[in-house]
């Protein structure tokens, strides 16, 4: 009996990885992914079947938005039954936002969705695109006993596999562009491709894939800094259309204890606008109430973001608001992990 090989769908949305240099003009242009095997013949050595699809117009990382997140998710939904895994190519600058969003949009996911990209174009002499792409496909095609090893949204970059909603971009120049500061790597690529299976999400309860598409909530990220102006903060928090706030605080979740700031936060929450406390630090966790300068936030009803990333907090808050979770339940719902994004 002939062995069945995994069928992988490669989805190109835009970004550096899909660009090649026109050596006559020295300008970058979009790569034709229909001919990807000609540019990367090493793909012919992979033990899987690869099909490609692409956005009609490549989206630059800076122009990525939740509307495009949903478009990617719909492509996955349309091909979900016929494909064994998916590799999504996007721009790196907003990849942590996009992949985090995808982890929340795709409910009951039971197949690998692997995001990757590159720091240099695919046609560049020193490009990191080939290794990232080839290994991301290998990860998506990795089986054990006829089932995919990875069953979640992950991000592969420069020899490391991460849980997508735990990542943040840490460098615009180094090939090691991403890190997962508060969660172990899901795998490493070296001489062998190794998975840290204890850290992978377990199989879901068998429910069918479902998309949560309502992500239009008007949410703001407000980063605190010394000397922040009360009038500007008031202007932001009193915006009549505001639906949610991700508050980037100091250290373990600390914020100014000035009366004007405390009152603004309390008034915002009284209007049933949720405020999530996340730390500005690259690693570590919010510990509201540990210091006096965070006790007033805890008493006001601010949501404890624990060790969630800003990118993931934004996506999760949009998801919960899109699901019309009652305000009285929103705090407990946010503080409970649903895709391994915190804790």
The region, left, alpha or beta by phi > 0 then psi within -120 to 50, assigned to residue 217 is beta
| CATH fold label, 7-211 | Rossmann fold (3.40.50)
Query: Nearest Cα to 11, choosing from 77, 107, 93?
Result: 77
- Are the C-beta atoms of 251 and 224 separated by less than 8 Å? no
Query: Nearest Cα to 10, choosing from 35, 28, 41?
Result: 35
**Residue ranges in 166-301 assigned as alpha helix (H):** 230-237, 259-270, 292-300
Instruction: Per-residue pLDDT tens, the chain, 343 aa: give them.
Output: 567 899 999 999 998 888 777 767 777 777 777 667 777 888 888 989 999 999 999 999 999 999 999 999 999 999 999 999 999 999 999 999 999 999 999 999 999 999 999 999 887 888 898 999 999 999 999 999 888 999 999 999 999 999 999 999 999 999 999 999 999 999 999 999 999 999 999 877 779 999 999 998 899 999 999 999 999 999 999 999 999 999 999 999 999 999 999 999 999 999 999 999 999 999 999 999 888 889 999 999 999 999 999 999 999 999 999 999 999 999 999 999 999 999 9
Show Cβ contacts of residue 217 under 8 Å, excluding neighbours closer than 6 positions.
Answer: 243, 244, 317, 318, 321, 322
The whole-number pLDDT of residue 35 equals: 67
Question: Residue 163 to residues 96, 172, 179, 326: CA-CA distances in angstroms?
Answer: 10, 20, 10, 29
* Number of residues in the chain: 343
Q: What is the DSSP string of 237-273?
A: HT-TT--EEEEEEBTTTB----HHHHHHHHHHHHTT-
The whole-number pLDDT of residue 43 equals: 87
Query: Is-above-0.85 flag for pTM?
Result: yes
Catalytic residue among 16, 116, 168, 279: 16
309 is catalytic: no
The whole-number pLDDT of residue 123 equals: 75
Question: Residue 5 to residues 46, 215, 277: CA-CA distances in angstroms?
Answer: 10, 36, 45
The whole-number pLDDT of residue 146 equals: 85
On whether the 219-334 domain is CATH 3.40.50.2000, my answer is no
> What residue ranges of the chain are covered by domains with CATH 3.40.50.1170?
7-211
């Amino acid at each position: 009996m002939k062995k069945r090989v995994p069928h992988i769908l490669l989805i190109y949305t835009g970004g550096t990885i899909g660009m090649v240099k026109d050596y006559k003009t020295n300008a970058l242009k979009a790569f034709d992914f229909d001919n990807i095997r000609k540019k990367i013949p090493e793909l012919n050595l992979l033990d899987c079947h690869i099909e490609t699809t692409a956005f009609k117009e490549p989206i630059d990382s800076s122009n990525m938005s939740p509307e495009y997140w949903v478009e990617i998710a719909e492509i996955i939904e349309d091909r979900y039954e016929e494909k064994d895994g998916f590799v999504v190519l996007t721009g790196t600058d907003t990849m942590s936002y996009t992949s985090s969003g995808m982890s929340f949009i795709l409910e009951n996911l039971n197949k690998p969705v692997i995001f990757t990209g590159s720091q240099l174009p695919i046609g560049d002499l020193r490009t990191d695109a080939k290794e990232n792409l080839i290994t991301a496909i290998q990860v998506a095609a990795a089986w054990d006993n006829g089932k995919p090893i990875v069953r979640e949204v992950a991000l592969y970059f420069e020899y490391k596999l991460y849980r997508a909603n735990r990542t943040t971009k840490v460098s615009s120049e180094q090939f090691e562009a991403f890190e997962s500061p508060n969660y172990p790597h899901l795998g490493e690529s070296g001489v062998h491709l190794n998975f840290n299976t204890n850290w992978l999400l377990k199989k879901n309860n068998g429910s069918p894939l479902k998309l949560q598409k309502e992500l239009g909530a008007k949410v703001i990220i407000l980063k605190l800094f010394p000397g922040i102006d009360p009038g500007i903060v008031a202007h932001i928090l009193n915006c009549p259309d505001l639906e949610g706030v991700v508050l980037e605080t100091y250290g373990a979740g600390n914020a100014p204890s000035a009366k004007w700031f405390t009152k603004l936060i309390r008034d915002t929450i009284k209007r049933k606008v949720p405020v999530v406390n996340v730390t500005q630090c690259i690693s570590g966790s919010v510990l509201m109430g540990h210091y006096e300068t965070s006790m007033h936030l805890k008493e006001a009803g601010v949501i404890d973001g624990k060790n969630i990333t800003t990118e993931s907090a934004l996506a999760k808050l949009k998801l919960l608001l899109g699901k019309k979770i009652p305000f009285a339940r929103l705090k407990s719902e946010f503080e409970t992990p649903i895709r391994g994004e915190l804790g």
